[in-house]
Structure 1
């Protein structure tokens, strides 16, 4: 079977798994305020005296409906580590796509709230698997100079999924009867069908293949993706030697369990990966995505909330582009102060403007970086489960916020965003002092940032953690050692596509 070797095409196909999450967000946010949905899943008076609409589900029940998807995603992210380690990164994503189709069928056919929740939980399993393993898959294939950009396309795919499905849902809102919500819920299975079929033409992660002793296949993948099929490339040989060293070292250790991520030599990077995903939720962005129609209704826009709401989805797509273009130059430490703003009073235009500002500040910062950063923190042996654990934290907090916000809006209205403002201030301090920079560093060098430091030492604080690798470079020069980057040249590494720009110890000796 023909296998695609272009890393950009590989990433473009794989991140369709992220688009599934985006489809779910907007298929709910665009529908929950429409009359067909409110009347079909109605739990209160048939029609309200204020606006003549059905009351729909209660605030608590609507929170449960929305939260059921991230609840399923939490479980899906946790089990994705086992699926990925056993079946491979590629097949794990395909499993997720099949589960999504099943969940979408149930949602589309929902006869009551219970059936809708079950379908959304199943869809959540799919999103949890794909959101955890797509970044791992791309990280293990991409060269370091492009890794941030390629993994970041996961977030861009999410934003495209949100925008596309929102306009589909908006168009369907003019239909009569249940077709207004059943049609968009049915259409959302199409990208999953495409994902499953297209993944058949993509290679498996070479690092996973090496772990399974499929060395010839691993070498073929490296040659295909980084040397245009030339198995005799010296860079492929060096990368294979490096992967072999890592695999042999890891086999001397016990099989990985989640408990290993809590051991002293791993706890710091586990904490960083988990909090990267937690903070991305506590910005309040997904609350904005799920419940933007509620917010605009509170801003006095009445029945005309869908089109103004859609503008923020366009902003989300456009403002993610700068991060994709420059994240490998900027680095991965972002803290967006604009997200801590909140507005009081009835000034609806100010509220709308600030929601757009909120989205514009999140899109090039926490949005893509929350997917790029965690896979770079961990060694190959634990990467699948470690990223799964970090992603499960994302979904746990997504679930909590999705359930909490409708009753919170009902009880404390705009004061909800004071809570998120406090979270944003806390994450600014935490990331500045505790998160090391990993941008453009080979994956093994990222390991050395942690391995060369004592847990809790000053070397772990903020970007000073980067100083560890710089100090090591200086020590090598002082001892008269030749630096690998000087010997082979950074541009030569990138041009020839070495995935991590590394040179094995064996190679250094030989040269």
Structure 2
């Protein structure tokens, strides 16, 4: 018998926070090309459109920093609900905006929600999940994110045929619906058992573990008791330490783990995915793609499909192979696109256009640029989209988990803000150069993971101390897996 309320269904409802993040990513991509948006907001280009786009990540920086305090103080659950309320307020302001200033203000408020949920939803998911399926459960976040991008873009595409302001106001209003569902669902979802234990609500923690791990909520189940004792031991050891959480965050023992948690999220924003997410219509227009709206829709479908491998196999293949392979594929794609723009792109004399190069009368080149953009976004969603969520939440101990992930996400949103603000001016100066830049950054990301990031698949959250003290990041996870299997056979023999 399978209960309706289990780890998967709880995580599915929690991942509505990721859906809101997806709505944020595509909240501008489908409307910036419509005449209604252009005319109402005065054809914003360059830094003006960059300011509108980056307003959401600006608010997310604040939300991510608040999450470090609220997640420990009022719980992961209540903080996520608070974020849902802020999202509804932000959506109302955006849909009613009477100018750029009000639109920016609404996006900042919604951004605070995205900052809160982007920190706390993966933490909540990782803390309720058994270790064998933790990667799969946390991958719900990215699957919901990509689905949110596709849903919002589809709504915007449908509304683009409306010959009124509703073409952009309606999509911004509709995006409040999943936030309402998220708030209501969390009224019935449990608190994180590890948070309950951290505030000495031990009986509740045991009951939640029994709810999550057994069909009949058996608190005497040996596996439930073993995990309960493991959490108990970890919290006792952390409390016996003289260090405060903030001091431990910068302690030498934790420094590598915290910096690595920050790095995977920063490189997530430096892979070039934002260029293809926020401004895909501009890229396809400069490449000479005829039906750009359909081409963008295909890209968002690819994003959803390519999230599935990490969802299905990240707990089998490991985190490292996904990240290294994805970054290398993206680097190759961006170098190819850069070469095509450099070889066949012509200078764009129209200063009202947001890009410097135009590909005209080269149908084969247009198709190649489109294909390699698709391949790059597929590689991103295979690796660098889902894996940082699970990796950053699992490599730091409970005592500093929320604060470490909060710091990582604040850095992520800071880079997102900078990239979102700078992409359009750079695209106007050098189209081929921006693709070269992102190609080089992807090579840097793959090197970082190869030399610095140990494998963490199928290990408990309480085992990460051992991994980081004795791990060998430069060895591939496949080689380590073979050694572990061989050791087990020798021991059995």
Q: Shared fold (TM-score greater than 0.5)? A: yes
User: Does 2:395 match 1:377?
Assistant: yes
Deviation at 1:464, TM superposition (A): 8.2
Conserved 8 A contact 1:449-1:466: no
Q: Deviations over 1:39-73 (max 9, x none)?
A: 0010xxxxxxxxxxxxx013111011101111111
Q: What pairs with 1:193-342 in structure 2 (closer than 5 Å)?
A: 193-228=180-215, 229-253=217-241, 256-301=244-289, 304-333=291-320, 334-335=323-324, 336=326, 337-340=328-331, 341-342=333-334
User: Does 2:32 match 1:32?
Assistant: yes
User: Does 2:413 match 1:395?
Assistant: yes
Residue segments in structure 1 that go unaligned for 5+ positions in a row: 43-55, 454-458, 487-511
Deviation at 1:178, TM superposition (A): 1.1
Give the aligned partner of residue 439 of structure 2: 421
Deviation at 1:251, TM superposition (A): 2.0
Give the Cα separation in 1 of the matches to 2:205 and 2:400. 19
Q: What pairs with 1:430-449 in structure 2 (closer than 5 Å)?
A: 430-449=448-467
Deviation at 1:36, TM superposition (A): 0.5
Deviation at 1:377, TM superposition (A): 0.4
Give the Cα separation in 2 of the matches to 1:4 and 1:90. 19
DSSP 3-state at the match of 1:202: coil
DSSP 3-state at the match of 2:252: coil
Query: Structure 1 residues 392 and 462 mapped into 2: Cα distance closer, same or farther (>3 Å)?
Result: farther
Conserved 8 A contact 2:67-2:79: yes
Conserved 8 A contact 2:230-2:462: no
- Corresponding pairs, count: 457
Conserved 8 A contact 1:256-1:382: no
Q: What pairs with 1:68-83 in structure 2 (closer than 5 Å)?
A: 68-83=55-70
Give the aligned partner of residue 91 of structure 2: 104
Conserved 8 A contact 1:13-1:195: yes
DSSP 3-state at the match of 2:189: coil
The TM-score normalised by the length of structure 2 is: 0.88
Deviation at 1:360, TM superposition (A): 1.3
Conserved 8 A contact 1:437-1:465: no
Give the aligned partner of residue 22 of structure 1: 22
Conserved 8 A contact 2:455-2:473: no
Greater displacement, 236-245 / 284-293: 236-245
Give the Cα separation in 1 of the matches to 2:48 and 2:242. 45
Give the aligned partner of residue 407 of structure 1: 425
Runs of 4+ in 1 over 6 A off after TM superposition: 464-468
Give the Cα separation in 1 of the matches to 2:124 and 2:378. 28
Query: Structure 1 residues 254 and 191 mapped into 2: Cα distance closer, same or farther (>3 Å)?
Result: farther
Q: Deviations over 1:220-267 (max 9, x none)?
A: 100011022011211112222222112222222357444432210111
Deviation at 1:288, TM superposition (A): 0.8
Residue segments in structure 2 that go unaligned for 5+ positions in a row: 345-358, 360-364
Deviation at 1:450, TM superposition (A): 2.1
Give the Cα separation in 2 of the matches to 1:376 and 1:466. 22
Query: Structure 1 residues 197 and 307 mapped into 2: Cα distance closer, same or farther (>3 Å)?
Result: same
Deviation at 1:200, TM superposition (A): 1.1
Deviation at 1:349, TM superposition (A): 1.4
Give the aligned partner of residue 153 of structure 2: 166
Query: Structure 1 residues 466 and 444 mapped into 2: Cα distance closer, same or farther (>3 Å)?
Result: farther
Give the Cα separation in 2 of the matches to 1:332 and 1:296. 32
Give the Cα separation in 2 of the matches to 1:357 and 1:162. 18
Give the superposed CA RMSD: 2.3
Conserved 8 A contact 2:303-2:378: yes
Give the Cα separation in 2 of the matches to 1:293 and 1:477. 55
The TM-score normalised by the length of structure 1 is: 0.85
